[in-house]
Structure 1
């Protein structure tokens, strides 16, 4: 009996049409975004282990219903925020409202708006120079794998605000106007929850460097990693730690107990060519204590 194992799918949300006033910035390339997609994005998505779902089909743009379907069902969405394209930001909003994983990227020309600047966003070189393409692909593939680990099945923007209620699955057969109105109404209803959690989140993020350093150094001996040789990504109440890939033997039991002594549960761990990573989540007790402290400040 043959078992058909489906590859996880990654939908690519990105600008497609190169605006006339941007052509000069991209060395006269009027098909710049198509070339970025085929030269960097698709190879990186495939290298990360996904099947790439392009935002175009048979040489034309996808219809809105197809896009909504892919945003709803894809295992991962690679979202390119370059040029602040409004369609891409809408697609990011749809994905976020469903509380599903997303990997954020931007080119070197783009500065992100304030409300996304605190998130882990990968910057890529859009020049498409032949000598650097291989490196760009590898770095983006690593970012996709790291995003998968840190998201752990949820959305970083959603968890950024500590929310737990998601929007209903949009109907891909309905009109794009109806889908937008539905999502706007549901997002407005969650605004009060965003405001209520903002103070707690701000307190957590403000203390992140000291907390992360203490935690990372405490866990390092249990994986044979050198102290101070790590990077991190803190998203609300969750922390992902990235150590060099040449760590020694992993003491999983000791690692779990040490994490708990810091108020964190070990959610996932893994190793790639680029790093050894740990994904941790605050325990309920630590979260309650943080909330109580914030309310009394």
Structure 2
């Protein structure tokens, strides 16, 4: 008879972008090490992924909070003290759920979490040290999960400061149609953000240089406290008309605002 397998969701909280001379490739390697440490363990089957990862679309902040709350265990890498990571760690500790903290050997302990055991690995990811780290991480993850499951008083952080009512996320049953509408609303928000983030082609290169030169003339004759985009637009537009150069008003106005911003004027 096959032994029963415990399936667990292991949420990963860690840097993914460049920080402290550690690039994205470094963090991809660290993530692979963590995932490998939790692979092929007798009696356990881990689904390991970043808390921001999800099979469905939606607001990333919502996915992160749900991942932090719903994961059976969180592995948090506080190396380089990434602000987002530290914030997400704080949320998980507020939920008072099983958490394992790791860091590299170049990162100092933080005052607030220094009382929690940290597993350490070499920043240069030396093979021999990583082998030992992976074994220690596996033991720590299983021990932490089992203690949380079997010990009603398990508390990774809050118990050190007294008795607290642990934060819980409300769960509301909805109809399939409500769920679809909610997802469509989230999708629309994502699309709107994409539209906003898409760079707009404001001025043609030859027009941009001309407009910038005219703006510099406008700034030369205008006291700093009186500079504004409306007067700048009128000044530039009049000079362009004298040169018989036509630029659509909306494009010219946006171009002027962008150039003024580049020059340090925000109006």
Taking structure 2 as the reference length, the TM-score comes to 0.53
How far is the alpha carbon of 1:114 from its aligned partner?
1.7
Give the structure 1 partner of residue 25 of structure 2: 31
Give the structure 2 partner of residue 89 of structure 1: 86
- Runs of 5+ in structure 1 lacking a partner? 175-297
How far is the alpha carbon of 1:160 from its aligned partner?
2.0
- 2:39 is aligned with 1:46: yes
How far is the alpha carbon of 1:115 from its aligned partner?
2.1
Give the structure 1 partner of residue 117 of structure 2: 120
Aligned 8 A contact 1:97 1:158 in 2: yes
Which whole-Å CA distance do the structure 1 matches of 2:170 and 2:87 have between them? 13
Deviations along 1:71-120, one digit per CA (max 9) or x if unpaired, are 11111001111111111111112212222111111110111122211221
Corresponding residue SS for 2:157 = helix
Aligned 8 A contact 1:102 1:155 in 2: no
Give the structure 2 partner of residue 72 of structure 1: 69
Instruction: Pick closer, same or farther for the CA change 1:126–1:52 going to 2, 3 Å.
Output: farther
Aligned 8 A contact 2:7 2:46 in 1: yes
Which whole-Å CA distance do the structure 1 matches of 2:108 and 2:40 have between them? 27
Which whole-Å CA distance do the structure 2 matches of 1:165 and 1:145 have between them? 26
Instruction: Pick closer, same or farther for the CA change 1:90–1:16 going to 2, 3 Å.
Output: same
Which whole-Å CA distance do the structure 2 matches of 1:97 and 1:170 have between them? 15
Give the structure 2 partner of residue 275 of structure 1: none
How far is the alpha carbon of 1:30 from its aligned partner?
4.5
Question: Higher strand proportion, which one?
Answer: 1
Give the structure 2 partner of residue 129 of structure 1: 126
Corresponding residue SS for 2:130 = helix
Instruction: Pick closer, same or farther for the CA change 1:155–1:81 going to 2, 3 Å.
Output: farther
Aligned 8 A contact 1:10 1:50 in 2: no
Taking structure 1 as the reference length, the TM-score comes to 0.48
Corresponding residue SS for 1:10 = strand
RMSD: 3.3
Which whole-Å CA distance do the structure 2 matches of 1:140 and 1:6 have between them? 18
Give the structure 2 partner of residue 7 of structure 1: 7
